[in-house]
Amino acid sequence: MDYKQRARATVESLERDLIELNDWMYHHPEVAFEERESSARLSAYLAANGFTVEYPAYGLETAFVASAGSGPELVICAEYDALPGVGQACGHNIIATAALGAGCALAPLADELGFKITVLGTPAEEKFGGKVDLINAGAFASAAAAMMIHPSVVDVVDPNVIAVSHLDVEYHGREAHASAYPQLGINALDAFVQAYVNVSTYRQHIYPTDKIHGIITHGGEAPNIVPDYTRSSWYVRAQTRERLDELLPHVTACFEAAAVASGCRMELIPMGHTYDDLVSHPTMVDLYAANAAALGRPMQRGANLPPSQTGSTDMGNVSKVVPTIHPMVSINCYPIVNHQRAFAAHTISFDGQKALFDGAVSMAWTAIDLAQNQLWDEL
């Protein structure tokens, strides 16, 4: 058997385990930086399958690093955080189990092929940006390349992934009896509503690739008390980090104007790291696309998709420090899409399991191509 056949046979032999883990993660969703059981199970599985494991790792309680072999290092990222309220609605259970499958397929080949395979457990993608902490702690310092797959409703090898900044906005006013003494109140809910309207108005005059989304997380205590405090959470996105830097002052002005109009004091609180846009490495993109096609999963190119059909990921930051790919793998359930409860349910369907298998094998085969053709330096 050649290397690719051996890798595929290993994933096939582990498929039952991987599906069980995928199901378990679906039933036990843990949100950003609280992925304690998930990270424990995933890292234990790698330890039992020939990896040297460090857990926790790089100063993060729910991060792990598992390695086998030596030589140029390929890092496969495993995400496992869920979303509040909707569970594994982004399918990070498939990301994690596909990473395990690819890693376990490559570990027995790493020494023969002269490279080091690392599966890196990367917490808190949906919030905070754990990969940025990992970059800062040196987790990618010796990496020659990095990859992961992400479930989606389209197969696209080099998706359009844009930059995002996360911030919370607080308004501080003054409480008062809403009926008897409203003239003494300063209404922090009015400030929030005005801010929301300002942003909504501004949205007409930005690029289709600029995105601004906000929710209110604290809106007051009771209707008969003038709200003295509100808090809201906002994501501001743009095609590039440069465009994001242009956009942010305008959004901030919308928040400030609301503070002035209402007489409230405003506080802007940055939440977690800013995510970079993703730059997919062309050589790795071509290799992955060819391998996925060989498995019967032809991949679209991001350039052929609607330019506003975008998301963001902290893998973007990784792509700025090491050659990276982040293919999207369809679980075939459109119009059910990411961040819907029904999408979470589809991650454990037959199509979800197929995405897990195809993602694992395609990543393993891409790694084998890189190693057999000694492309590490060229990257």
Stretch that binds Zn ion, among 54-62, 85-93, 112-120, 175-183 (CB under 5 A): 85-93
Among 90, 105, 195, 285, contact with Zn ion (rule: CB under 5 A): 90
d(CA 314, CA 326): 11
AA letter at 16: R
Closest separation in Å from C-beta 158 to Zn ion: 16
Q: List all residues 6 or more positions away from 301 whose beta carbon is below 8 Å from its beta carbon.
A: 156, 157, 158
Closest separation in Å from C-beta 29 to Zn ion: 12
Pick between residue 31 and residue 295 the one whose CB is nearest to Zn ion.
31
Task: Return phi, psi of residue 24, to 5°.
Answer: -60, -45
d(CA 129, CA 67): 22
User: Within 13 Å of residue 84, how many CA atoms lie on the same side as its CB?
Assistant: 4
Pick between residue 90 and residue 120 the one whose CB is nearest to Zn ion.
90
Stretch that binds Zn ion, among 84-92, 204-212, 256-264, 327-335 (CB under 5 A): 84-92
Closest separation in Å from C-beta 153 to Zn ion: 13
Name the token pair of 364.
């393993």
If binding means CB under 5 A, how many residues of this protein chain bind Zn ion?
1
Q: Does 124 sit near Zn ion (CB under 5 A)?
A: no
Closest separation in Å from C-beta 142 to Zn ion: 26
Closest separation in Å from C-beta 362 to Zn ion: 18
Q: Which of residues 274-333 bind Zn ion (CB under 5 A)?
A: none
Task: Build a one-symbol-per-residue string for 40-79: x at contacts with Zn ion by CB under 5 A, - elsewhere.
Answer: ----------------------------------------
Pick between residue 90 and residue 331 the one whose CB is nearest to Zn ion.
90
Closest separation in Å from C-beta 210 to Zn ion: 19
Closest separation in Å from C-beta 273 to Zn ion: 16
d(CA 7, CA 10): 5
Closest separation in Å from C-beta 51 to Zn ion: 24
Q: Is the dihedral of CA 75, 139, 15, 7 positive or negative?
A: positive
Sequential DSSP letters for 290-330? HHHHHTT---B-GGGS-TT--B--THHHHHTTS-EE--EEE
AA letter at 158: D
Q: List all residues 6 or more positions away from 234 whose beta carbon is below 8 Å from its beta carbon.
A: 166, 167, 168, 169, 199, 212, 213, 214, 251
Burial class (CB in 10 A: 0-12, 13-18, 19+), 296: exposed
Stretch that binds Zn ion, among 55-63, 89-97, 131-139, 250-258 (CB under 5 A): 89-97
d(CA 29, CA 77): 18
Q: Which residue of the chain is nearest Zn ion when measured via CB?
A: 90
Closest separation in Å from C-beta 126 to Zn ion: 5
Stretch that binds Zn ion, among 59-67, 87-95, 183-191, 363-371 (CB under 5 A): 87-95
d(CA 326, CA 315): 8
Beta bridge partners of 67: 52, 118
Pick between residue 75 and residue 90 the one whose CB is nearest to Zn ion.
90
Pick between residue 90 and residue 285 the one whose CB is nearest to Zn ion.
90
Stretch that binds Zn ion, among 82-90, 163-171, 175-183, 344-352 (CB under 5 A): 82-90
263: left (phi over 0), alpha (psi -120 to 50) or beta: left
Pick between residue 84 and residue 270 the one whose CB is nearest to Zn ion.
84
CA distances from 213 to 235, 249, 308, 326, 344 (A): 5, 16, 14, 24, 22
Closest separation in Å from C-beta 90 to Zn ion: 3
Stretch that binds Zn ion, among 83-91, 209-217, 343-351, 366-374 (CB under 5 A): 83-91
Binding site for Zn ion (CB under 5 A): 90
